[in-house]
A and B are shown apart, each in its own frame.
Chain A
Amino acid sequence: MAGFLLKRLAQAVFVVMVVTLIVSVAVRMTGDPAMMIAQGATDITEADLERIREGLGLNEPFLSQYLATLSGLFTWDFGRSFLGGTPVSTLIGNALPATLLLAFTSLLVSIVISIPLGIRAAIRRGKWEDQLIRILSLVGLSFPNFWLATMLVLLFSITLQWLPPSGMNGIASFIMPAVTMGIILTATNVRLVRTSMLEVMQSQYIMVARAKGLSERTVLYKHALRNCAIPLITFLGLQFGGLLGGIVVVERVFNWPGMGSLAFDAVAGRDYPVLQSVIMILSTLIVLVNLLVDIAYGLIDPRIRTE
């Protein structure tokens, strides 16, 4: 187990470094931040731009700029935003909790909906309930999230005026973004729960449990569901990574003050320190979650631990 963990940890570090390096190089090929800052200045000369670049630290060698970014992971000092000079750690300190909260709420929404629906579809296999749930999940899968978000806003904010259309301000503001993200996850999760439930229900130990005369409820929730947990957890782990990536669009539409919005603004403003740090932290998180999923396996399934 220890050797396995060490190997995975080394892989994780490598992934984060490569991702950060690619982003750092790529963003530097797309334009000059000094020009962005000087936009609208009337008589800006090359000397002025040079002065601004010097002030931003852009004249340092690339390698030292890159290493400075990386070291932020350990010192929590990511430099300052090119736009206005706010410490990047302050920006991330505000945005990361917002994004994580939204991601967890979305996962929660999807788990709460998909597990009962998935089980129901499995036990009513082939019946109309199963058909309906499968069709609904197909519809859910086909929704582009920005469209769904816009429709929700139109209905609940503009027409009914029940929910605030944007911002993170109280529980009410979580509902639409979390549902938007959650519904798309739900669609896949329902199918996953259904398939793995069906598989488990065929197995011999379920037959044994039934033969023992256990109630159907106990059979389902105690024996079957627990055995579905492994594929489900793997999948949720993977989804969490996808969530963090997909969150940019949803954050944008709901003006959610999270990492996605931060990254979007940073790209538009050529704000290297912010962009690099956001990407580095998100990739670290995704890699860590995958690592945790691997560890969680062992905890849930003793067979994997002993192997």
Chain B
Amino acid sequence: MMKQTLTAMAVALAALTAGHATTAHADGKLIVSSPQDPGSWDPIDTFLVNWASLATNVFEGLTYRGPDMKLVPGLATSWEVLDDGLRIRFALREGVTFHNGEDFNAEAVKFTFERLLGDEGAKGPQQANYTAIEYVEIIDDYTVDFHLSQPDAVLLTKLAGYGAMIVPPKYITEMGDDVFNTKPVGTGPFKMVSYEPKIGVQLEANADYWDGAPQLAELEYRFITEPATALAELQSGGVDLVIPPTIPVGMIPTIEADDNLELVTTAGPTVTALRFDTSRGITADADVRKALIMAVDRETIVNSVLGGQASVIASFQGERSFGHDPALKPLPFDPEGAKALLEKAGVAPGATVEINTRGNDATFNEVTQAVAAYLGMVGVTATIKPYETNVLLNDIIPQGKTGEMFQQSWGGWTFDFDNTAYAMYHTGQKWNPYDSDPQLDEMLEAQRPLTDQAERERLLQEIATYAADRALEMPLYNLNAIYATNKRVQNFEPAPDNRLKLNKVSVQ
């Protein structure tokens, strides 16, 4: 009887699974695994990168920045910066329609920014990024002027993403915000067909897309948070592409060992440093801070702990960042020099530092253990104290309750060093609980209003050099954005900022 039951179960299983194998993929369909459901598709509601990793296919901004990081025309065909940066004139693309048939024109641009900067935008996090815009003036149907209250050097980049996505006025006015949250309409290469909260999104090609119909007929996103689950789906053919932030470094060997899969990585926006409490303890002394940096072999950490999926940094930015200075080199790994510096500073062997990390960041906790071991070799005893990520970010760091060193992983999608430097170094900023340096404040303020980008880049490089001289943090590395695809996926280009636009991608 037992045997019969088992046979029956095996037959039933085979019958069920036959269905699974055939329904997985239709022709011309790509399935993406994304780790988070942003909950709303309205551009002004969210700041989650996984909003952008889908919504970049649905919405477009006036400017566009693709995987090559170059700012190019989007819904605007050209622009002109006027009045010392206080006015920007955009010529708009003609003949573009939203997915619902509505015309894209100057009215839509004006509506988008009035909504973002008005009461509706005030409820969300996006408004704060666009406050330099005073108002949008319609010159004619396909020309608009942006009037700014102050020059904003990063504005053109910011218009390429997130809150600045152009939305359809008639659709939103008639259907209301709730409908727009779940059934968004844009001008992008894919139209949203359905959205099931926490489960996934179905999209179809927008055949009328102004830049040519996409290669794929259908696109599906599934929300899978667990890295192991996402990888299992990829290995079994349930999904074709796993996007960041999903795959931890530890899973890379599994992907590389699978002949059907391909690992695709590119330097991402996130840089990681161990910042110092510059106000007390042994880390109040700049020479001690330098000694601690020199004591740690960051190159080896990147190669052994991170599988080479990162690059060592000299300041708190990666090489794609605007403000990166190729001439600025990381302090060399030099334990003897470190010991000498420590001795000169009067730090006796056995001195202690506490390092605070994000407890759920397993990879970084391995990195920290390596750091602690290196510090031990120069006579500094490091204890590691992890906190729950949100507690560390919302409580411990802003209130200045960290140990001598603490983890900070940072990076804005704009890849502009101002974003990092101002938040980290300016007096009184939430992320800068310890340091106050009037000269640095002045440098940070001076570059902000500049419209001359070359000059601003020079000033940002100076800031990076200044911060490195003071050794305000132990710069560690710039992590790669890790994508994994099934080899049937063609023409996939990894987006450093996770803003995926999949119109050129096809499947075999």
Residues of A within 8 A of B (CB): 30-32, 35-45, 48, 51-52, 55, 81, 83-86, 90-91, 94-95, 150, 153-154, 157-158, 161-167, 170-172, 175, 252-255, 257, 261-262, 264-265, 270
Contact = CB atoms under 8 A, between A and B. Distances in A.
Contact of B125 (A30, A37, A162, A262): A37
Interface string B368-401: 0000000000000000000010110111000000
Interface of B: 13-14, 16-17, 19-21, 36-40, 45-49, 122-129, 131, 154, 178, 181-182, 196-199, 222-226, 228-229, 232-233, 235-238, 388, 390-391, 393-395, 412-414, 419, 422-423
B124 A94 contact: no
Given A84-B37, A255-B222, 7 more contacts: A44-B125, A45-B128, A52-B123, A85-B39, A162-B14, A172-B16, A265-B198
Nearest to A91: B197
A81 B37 CA distance: 12
A55 B388 CA distance: 26
A161 B394 contact: no
A191 B236 CA distance: 37
A166 B199 CA distance: 11
Contacts of B422: 43
Interface centre among B49, B129, B181, B229 (most CB of A within 10 A): B229
A255 B226 contact: yes
11 contacts: A36-B390, A41-B128, A83-B38, A84-B40, A85-B178, A94-B198, A94-B199, A157-B235, A158-B235, A165-B229, A254-B229
A170 B20 contact: yes
A270 B390 contact: yes
Contact of B390 (A31, A262, A265): A31
A38 B125 contact: yes
Contacts of B236: 157-158, 161, 164-165
Contact of B412 (A36, A40, A171): A40
B412 A42 contact: yes
A161 B21 contact: yes
A265 B224 CA distance: 11
Contacts of A253: 226, 228-229
Interface centre among A39, A43, A153, A162 (most CB of B within 10 A): A43
A84 B198 contact: no
Interface centre among A44, A86, A164, A265 (most CB of B within 10 A): A164
B125 A84 contact: no
A166 B181 CA distance: 26
Contacts of B178: 85
Nearest to B13: A162
Contacts of B39: 81, 83-86
A40 B413 contact: yes
B16 A41 contact: no
A166 B393 contact: no
A45 to B, nearest CB: 7
A35 B129 CA distance: 15
Nearest to A161: B236
Contacts of A262: 198
| 4 closest A-B pairs by CB | A84-B39, A84-B40, A55-B123, A165-B232
B12 to A, nearest CB: 9
A41 B197 contact: no
Contacts of A153: 228-229, 232
A285 B388 CA distance: 30
A261 to B, nearest CB: 7
A41 B225 contact: no
Contacts of A95: 198
B127 A170 contact: no
B45 A84 contact: yes
A172 B228 contact: no
B39 to A, nearest CB: 2
Contacts of B40: 83-86
Contacts of A32: 394
Nearest to A154: B232
Given A85-B40, A166-B233, A254-B229, A172 B391 contact: no
A150 B13 contact: no
Contact of A35 (B21, B131, B393): B393
A166 B47 contact: no
Contact of B47 (A37, A163, A170): A37
A37 B232 CA distance: 30
Contacts of B414: 42
Contacts of B224: 166, 255
Contacts of B229: 153, 165-166, 252-255
Contact of A252 (B13, B196, B226, B423): B226
Given A161-B236, A171-B16, A172-B19, A94 B228 contact: no
Contacts of A45: 128
Contacts of A265: 36-37, 198, 225
Contacts of A86: 39-40, 181-182, 197
B316 to A, nearest CB: 15
A164 B238 contact: yes
A95 B423 CA distance: 39
A45 B125 CA distance: 10
A52 B124 contact: yes
A84 to B, nearest CB: 2
B220 to A, nearest CB: 11
Given A81-B39, A265-B225, A166 B122 contact: no
Contacts of A264: 225
Nearest to A150: B228
A303 to B, nearest CB: 35
B212 to A, nearest CB: 32
A189 to B, nearest CB: 18
A290 B199 CA distance: 31
B228 to A, nearest CB: 7
Contacts of A166: 224, 229, 232-233, 238
B128 to A, nearest CB: 4
A240 to B, nearest CB: 23
A91 B198 contact: yes
Contacts of B412: 40, 42
Contact of B391 (A31, A38, A39): A31
Contacts of B388: 30
Contacts of B199: 94, 167, 257
Contacts of A254: 229
Contacts of A85: 39-40, 45, 178, 181
Contacts of A261: 198, 225
A5 to B, nearest CB: 37
Contacts of B237: 161
Nearest to B126: A41
Contacts of A83: 38-40, 46
